[in-house]
Amino acid sequence: MENAIELLARVQFAFTIMFHYLFPPLSIGLGTIIVVMEGLYLKTKRPFYKDMCKFWVKLFALNFSMGVATGVVMQAEFGTNWATYSRFVGDIFGSALAAEGIFAFFLESGFLAILLFGWDRVSPRVHFFATLMVCTGATFSAFWITVANSWMHTPAGFEIIQTALGPRAVINDFWAMVFNPSAMWRFAHVVVGSWIVGAFFVMSISAYYLIKKRHVEFARKSFTIALFLAMLATPLQGLIGSKQAEIMVEYNPSKMAAMEGNFKTTDHAPFWIIGIPDEKSGEIKYGIKVPGLLSYLATGSADGIVVGLDSIPPQDRPPVAGPFLCYHGMIGLGIYMMALSWLGGLMLWRKKLFESKWLLRIFVISVAAPYLANQLGWVASEVGRQPWIVYGLLRTSEALSKAVHAGAIVSSLIMFIVIYALLFLVFIYSLDRKIKRGPELHDDKSSKPDDREKGKRWWSKFFDGLRESDRKRLDCSRHRELSDDDEGGPK
């Protein structure tokens, strides 16, 4: 029964956090792109770039609201399902989450109103500063959350004290806790991954407009800005991932072994490109490998020794299939996105990108790739840490609330699924409506005259018709008054 409760609690937390994590990366990535666009507006003074920013800010605000709404749930789950864990890490998580609220969320939300409604109320420089602060706040938020999560993988700057309710971790070196061995590289991984999400989101919508021949100049400019960010971020992400592998070898050897399917401690350890892990036989079946590459990536030498699962006590070994498949799926998607981005850069250099509809269609659907890569990476990392919830200190099975029962978890999980499904439908409907309506551009001569009409619903067109009818009636009345005056009629 305890195993069932643990599984249900893990499934519930995984569902809620994976759904939530659809939104924060886009806030960081799209926020970065908006900063670049508004910087171009400040430099060129062209209203075109201001209108461009306004459109993407609308989508940013919609995404931000979803992130806030879905982010509250996890804090409640810590108390209901993971009370023992909350008591054990309360001092650690409390400081990091308090810093996130004070230094990040307040900064982000404080300047959000100026970003959304201050276009004609503050100067362009003040508005740009507000945009920069919102983007900075989103990034700071990711920093403190990543610090807390990284501490679970590589705990540092703490000591264990005994209390009446059991052992508890307390901070004895705040900065050692913040800059724990994996924190900075994991933070870099999160931020660059968010840039990729933002870049592919903008390129997908821009490619859609180009295929439909709507807002062509807007789409070209937006696509180009996002493409350059993707070309920078995708190879950079690979370099950051390589550094993380070195950290895992030193601090989380069991997770590294599971993610790489390395069952035996050996030198010249191979890197598996594809394959299916068989935990019973301790082999990768139907696989393709590069001999010595894992040793080189992990130690800097093809002769380096990499710890395998045979060196880990059986009770401390993580499952292999999930981390291996998710990790390699993430790497495959990363290579795909890098190849697609640089192919787009080549076609742009050759001045053929915006006429290549087949490539634009690929960009439209490829918006799913960075989202899927983020989810796969999270699963690989968290499942690979098992059976520990805090590596080497607290097991997941020991972190559950003592009073929670399976029925409560199942009922609340069903409730979350229903509510989140409705929220997601509202989000997709609103996003689709804003995209179809398109930007309101004052100097986009390439757009069709009926572009704005295509995005309107029947009620919008109805009220527009009433306003147009009132305007014509007023014009006729004024024309009659002028005619009467010219003829010397009654005044």
Q: Residue 442 carries which DSSP code?
A: S
Q: Which two tokens stand for residue 470?
A: 């009132």
Specify the pLDDT at position 439.
84
Residue with tokens 């960081």: 28
- What lies within 8 Å, CB to CB, of 64 at 6+ separation is 23, 27, 112
For the segment 367-385, what is each residue's pLDDT rounded down to a tens digit? 999 999 999 999 998 998 8
What's the CA gap between 310 and 263, in Å, rounded? Answer: 6
The pLDDT of 108-131, averaged and rounded, is 86
Among 153-157, 233-237, 252-256, 293-297, top mean pLDDT goes to 233-237
For the segment 210-255, what is each residue's pLDDT rounded down to a tens digit? 998 888 888 899 999 999 999 999 999 988 988 888 888 888 888 8
Q: Evaluate whether 452 touches 51 at the Cβ level (below 8 Å).
A: no
What's the CA gap between 388 and 393, in Å, rounded? Answer: 7
Specify the pLDDT at position 375.
92
What's the CA gap between 27 and 194, in Å, rounded? Answer: 8
1 pLDDT above the threshold of 60: no
For the segment 29-65, what is each residue's pLDDT rounded down to a tens digit? 999 999 999 998 888 888 888 888 889 999 998 998 8
The pLDDT of 87-111, averaged and rounded, is 81
pTM: 0.84
Q: Residue 101 carries which DSSP code?
A: I
Residue-averaged pLDDT of the chain:
83
Specify the pLDDT at position 476.
61
For the segment 11-36, what is each residue's pLDDT rounded down to a tens digit? 888 888 999 889 999 999 999 999 99
Q: Evaluate whether 195 touches 29 at the Cβ level (below 8 Å).
A: yes
For the chain, percent of residues with pLDDT exceeding 90: 25
CB atoms within 10 A of CB 221: 18
Nearest to 430 by CA among 70, 113, 63: 63
Q: Evaluate whether 29 touches 21 at the Cβ level (below 8 Å).
A: no
Q: Residue 306 carries which DSSP code?
A: B
Q: Where are the alpha helices (DSSP H) in 252-320?
A: 253-260, 293-299
